[in-house]
Amino acid sequence: MTIDLEALFIDLHRNPELSFQEVRTAGIAAGHLRDLGLEVTQGVGRTGVVGVLRNGDGPVVWARADMDALPVVEESGLPYASTARGVDAEGREVGIMHACGHDMHVTAMIGAVEELVRTRDEWSGTLVVVIQPAEEFGAGARAMLDDGALDRFPRPDVVIGQHVTPLPAGMIGVRPGPQMSASDGLHVVLHGRGGHGSRPHSTIDPVVMAAATVMRLQTVVSREVDPHDLAVVTVGAIHAGTKNNIIPAEATLDLSLRYPDDALRTKMLAKVERVIKAEAMASGATEEPTIETLHTLPATINDAAATERATAAFRAAFGEDNVVDPGLFTGSEDVSWFARDAGVPLVFWFWGGIAPARFAAAVAHGTVDSEIATNHSPYFAVEIHPTIEVGVKALTVAAREFLG
Ligand SMILES: [Zn+2]
Ligand SMILES: [Zn+2]
């Protein structure tokens, strides 16, 4: 009996769950892994699942898939679009969507495990399947490690994983060395002094302070970072006030910062902090802004030798033209904590999820950036086929490359 992967993907897509709330998804993944004969442990790092497939002597490969969805109202127009709603970690009611494709990650993983079980006479070693929660919080890998994942299960010799991305379906993007940026999430509270909207002179207006801060932050990358360096400062959330005629007491900003390495990270954090504090001072604030780190993600660095091996295997499996160097991504991932904590190589690659004809037309019209929705967009839509098949094959090929 083979698992209906299309039905699995559609079911996961229709029923997305927020970070650390992936109870249903974890249960479904665990059920499939159990049916396939793996030793399954649930509740690792809150909602994480680990499945172990022992198949004789040989290397231990950890294959990781993340499973959480995002607080996004889906606008993809797909017949199986999500209408799910839920409550986020801050207690807000939000729409939920698999806008980052983690539904595809879980689907491809289940398919790959099925294939590896079917072909178990052809390899030996141990496969450890890691279904990780809360990647979007940058906290799930850490939670599983803090829950003893490296001690409770066979330690890895290599960690592999993949992410679906806006490349044409059928393409694999992989590179040795830096693959994804390091990232910090910051929560900033700007303290002003509230009062009546008709008497601004008696207040310290945090709305104006926030507006000036957001604009000035735009100059950090454009004026202070070497143009050769890849860096991003995004203010993704800004909140203040309740009513037109009340000047509120404070405003909050949520920032996302990206950089390729730790050296630039230190510099950028100092610059961002300087701008935030200086704008508060310029506004006459009597209290310094509060700056809290929401999460810190390391750069995703692919091990050179292991990545060469995986890339050669991908070329043999998919053809020379279908394996490309996608360049350094400004997105970030927490997958590398597993490899870093274990002190072993990481190989993390991207695979395309966009209909090739649609992608080619967008390239021809020069409209890739505007027409091909990226991860985290409410319009993000993964082509089911051949994305599932390519994802299954890529994981299987890479796992087999490192298993005995
Ligand atoms: Zn994401
Ligand atoms: Zn993602």
The tens digit of pLDDT for each residue in 214-273 reads 999 999 999 999 999 999 999 999 999 999 999 999 999 999 999 988 889 999 999 999
Ligand at minimal distance from the CA of 67 is 2
Q: What is the mean pLDDT of the chain?
A: 96
CB–CB of 169/387 below 8 Å?
yes
Q: Is the pTM of this model over 0.85?
A: yes
Q: Report how far ligand 2's centroid is from the alpha carbon of 277 (Å).
A: 32
Q: Report how far ligand 1's centroid is from the alpha carbon of 137 (Å).
A: 9
| Ligand 2 (single-atom ion) residues, CB below 5 Å | 100
Would the pLDDT of 174 be above 90? yes
Cα distances (Å, whole numbers) of residue 321 to 71, 173, 176, 200, 395: 36, 11, 18, 63, 19
How high is the pLDDT of residue 187? Answer: 98
pLDDT tens digit string along 312-343? 999 999 999 999 999 999 889 999 999 999 99
Ligand at minimal distance from the CA of 164 is 2
Count other Cβ atoms within 10 Å, centred on residue 279: 22
- Residues 103 and 360: their CA atoms lie apart, in Å, by 25
Mean pLDDT of 42-56: 98
pLDDT tens digit string along 86-119? 999 989 999 999 999 999 999 999 999 999 999 9
How high is the pLDDT of residue 167? Answer: 95
Count other Cβ atoms within 10 Å, centred on residue 159: 29
Q: Report how far ligand 2's centroid is from the alpha carbon of 331 (Å).
A: 9
| Ligand 1 (single-atom ion) residues, CB below 5 Å | 100
Q: Report how far ligand 2's centroid is from the alpha carbon of 102 (Å).
A: 6
How high is the pLDDT of residue 45? Answer: 98
Q: Report how far ligand 2's centroid is from the alpha carbon of 179 (Å).
A: 14
pLDDT tens digit string along 340-395? 999 999 999 999 999 999 999 999 999 999 999 999 999 999 999 999 999 999 99
On the question of a cis peptide bond just before residue 386, with omega within 30 degrees of 0, the verdict is yes
Count other Cβ atoms within 10 Å, centred on residue 170: 20
pLDDT level of residue 404 (50, 70, 90 thresholds): confident
Would the pLDDT of 1 be above 70? no
Domains of the chain, start order: 5-181+299-402 (3.40.630.10), 182-296 (3.30.70.360)
Q: Report how far ligand 2's centroid is from the alpha carbon of 49 (Å).
A: 17
Write out the H or E segment, with its range, that includes residue 85: strand 85-87
Ligand at minimal distance from the CA of 165 is 2
How high is the pLDDT of residue 261? Answer: 84
